[in-house]
A and B are shown apart, each in its own frame.
Chain A
Amino acid sequence: MLGKLIKYDLKAGQRYFVPTYSVMLVLAAVIGISSRFDRNAAGNTNYIFVISTMLFGLLIMAAVILTIYLLVDRFYHNLLGNEGYLMFALPVNTATHILAKIITSLLWMLLGCAMVLLSGLIIAALAMTMDNWYEIMKMIPYIFSRYQFNGDAFMQVVQVLLVGCITVVMGVTRIYASIAAGHLWSGHRILGAALAFIGLTILEVIVATTFDPAGFNTSGVLPLCLYQLVWIVLYGIFTWYVLDRHLNLD
C-alpha cells in the first residue's frame, strides 16, 4: 500500500514538476550554447545569455518554492481537506499515510537537486570548447594521482547524502507536526499550524543550545544524525497521534 500511495502522490506532483524541470533543462542548454557566443562577440552584450541565466536563477527559486508548497499542500489538502474523506477511507493505516508523504517529499527534494546538477552538467558540456575539453582530459590523471578514490571517499559522499536526507526529513516532519497541531484547533487551522511551526522552530533552537552548546555539527556525523532522528520520531509520533486519534475533517 505504501508504494501505491507514493505512486499517486508522485503523479499529483508530476503535473507541476515535469514542465518546471523541462524548462530548466532547456534554459541550461540555452545558457551553455549562448555562452560560447559571449566569448566570441567581444564588446557586445549577449542578451540571450544574460536573460537565460537570470531566468534560470529565478526558475531554481521557483522550483524550491514549488517543492515546499507541494509538500505542505499535499499533506494539508490530500489528508486533511475534502480529499481526506477518500484517503482515510482507504484500507491503509495512518502511519503508512504519513510515511508515504515523507518519502514523496524527500523524492521531490532529491529530484530537484538532481535536476540542478544535470543542468550544471548541460551548461558545462555545451559551454566548453574543444580546448577546454582537452584541458580537462589532461587534468583527470592529475586528479587521480593527487586524491585516492577509495572506500573513505565513497563513505564521505554517502555521509553527505545521508545527513542531507535526514535534515530534509526533519524539516518535513516539523512541517507535518505543525499542520497536525493546527488541526487540533476547531477553527483558524492554518493560523494554528503557522504558530505551531514558529513554536517548534524556537523549541528546536532552545533544545540545541541547552543540551548541546558546542553544536552537533562539530561532534561528527553520527551524533548529528541520531539527534535529528530523535526529532523526526517525536514529530512523527505527534503527527500520527493527531491524525489517528483526533482526526476531525471539516
Chain B
Amino acid sequence: MNMLECTKLTKQYGSLTALDEMDLTLESGKIVGLLGPNGSGKTTLIKIANRLLQPSSGELKIAGEVPNEHTKAIVSYLPDRTYLPEWMKIGELLEFYQDFFEDFDMARAQELLKDLAIPSDRPMKKMSKGTKDKVQLILTMSRRAKVYLLDEPIAGVDPAARDYILRTIIANYEPDALVLISTHLIADVESVLDEAVFLRQGKVILHESIDSIRERTGESVDAYFREVFAC
C-alpha cells in the first residue's frame, strides 16, 4: 500500500527552491533512508508530511490524505531537535502521549525507559542532551504507528548512542509500517535499510532497493553516495 505519495511537490522559501517538483511514492512495510547532503530538502519534506509546512505547489499524501489531524494520528514523528517541554517529568510525558495518541503503547515505553534506568519523576530539564534524545526516540517508537518519520535521529550523538537508537528503531517499529529515516550518515544506517532515496537540491535522483544498488554498483550504499555527491 502507498503510504506516502508526493506529486510534483514543490516548496519555495522566497527565491530558494527547497523541493523542486518532487515525485516520490513510498510503500508500507519498508524502512527507507532519505539520504542527501545538508540543504537537499530532507527536513522540508518531513515537515510537509507533518503539516508543519505547506507546499508551494503539488501535493503530498499520507495514506491517501493530505496531512491533517487524521494523518497525524497514524504518523509518529521524531523532529531533528529537542522538542519536549523542559518542565515536564518523564511520567507526565508518558501520560501526555497516552492522552493524545491512541496508538501509544505505555507498557513498551515504560519497559524501554526502565532499560535505561531513567526515573519517571525526573523533569526533562535535569537530563543531558543524550538522555533527552533517547527519551524522545522512546516516545516516538512506542507508538504503534503506520508511518514513522525520523528526522536525523543519529546526528550529533556518539557511536554507542547511534547503535542504541538504531537497535531501538528496529526492535520497536510496526512491521507493516513505513519507516522513513532522514540522514547524511549513511554508513551507520545502511544495514537497517530496505530502500534508499537520494535527494539533491529538492529532487529525487535515485529511489532503489539497497540490494539492487549493491548489485548494480558493486559498492556499499555509503560508497555509492560519496561517489554521486562528490564535491
Residues in A neighbouring B47, C-beta threshold 8 A:
249
Task: Please report which residues of chain B, range 44-72, place their CB below 8 angstroms from some CB of chain A when the two chains form the complex.
Answer: 47, 50-54, 68-70, 72
Nearest-Cβ distance from residue B189 to partner chain A, whole angstroms = 22
Minimal Cβ-Cβ distance residue in A for B83: A85
Residues in B neighbouring A248, C-beta threshold 8 A:
53
B-facing mask of A24-62, CB < 8 A → 1, else 0? 000000000000000000000000000000000000000
- Give the complex CA separation of A7 and B96 in angstroms: 10
What's the count of A-B pairs with C-beta under 8 Å? 61
- Give the complex CA separation of A219 and B122 in angstroms: 56
A-facing mask of B87-102, CB < 8 A → 1, else 0? 1000010001001110
Residues in B neighbouring A86, C-beta threshold 8 A:
79, 83-85
Nearest-Cβ distance from residue A36 to partner chain B, whole angstroms = 41
- Give the complex CA separation of A68 and B13 in angstroms: 33
Minimal Cβ-Cβ distance residue in A for B136: A86
A-facing mask of B127-149, CB < 8 A → 1, else 0? 00000000000000000000000
Query: Which segment of A88-96, A111-119, A199-207, A225-233 sits at the interface?
Result: A88-96
Task: Please report which residues of chain A, range 3-28, place their CB below 8 angstroms from some CB of chain B when the two chains form the complex.
Answer: 4, 7-8, 11-12, 15
Task: Please report which residues of chain B, range 67-120, place their CB below 8 angstroms from some CB of chain A when the two chains form the complex.
Answer: 68-70, 72-73, 75, 77, 79, 81-85, 87, 92, 96, 99-101
- B residues near A (Cβ < 8 Å) are 13-14, 47, 50-54, 68-70, 72-73, 75, 77, 79, 81-85, 87, 92, 96, 99-101
| Apart from the given pairs A12-B87, A89-B75, 11 other A-B contacts in the complex at a CB distance below 8 Å | A1-B100, A7-B99, A82-B82, A85-B52, A85-B79, A89-B52, A90-B72, A91-B72, A186-B14, A245-B54, A247-B51
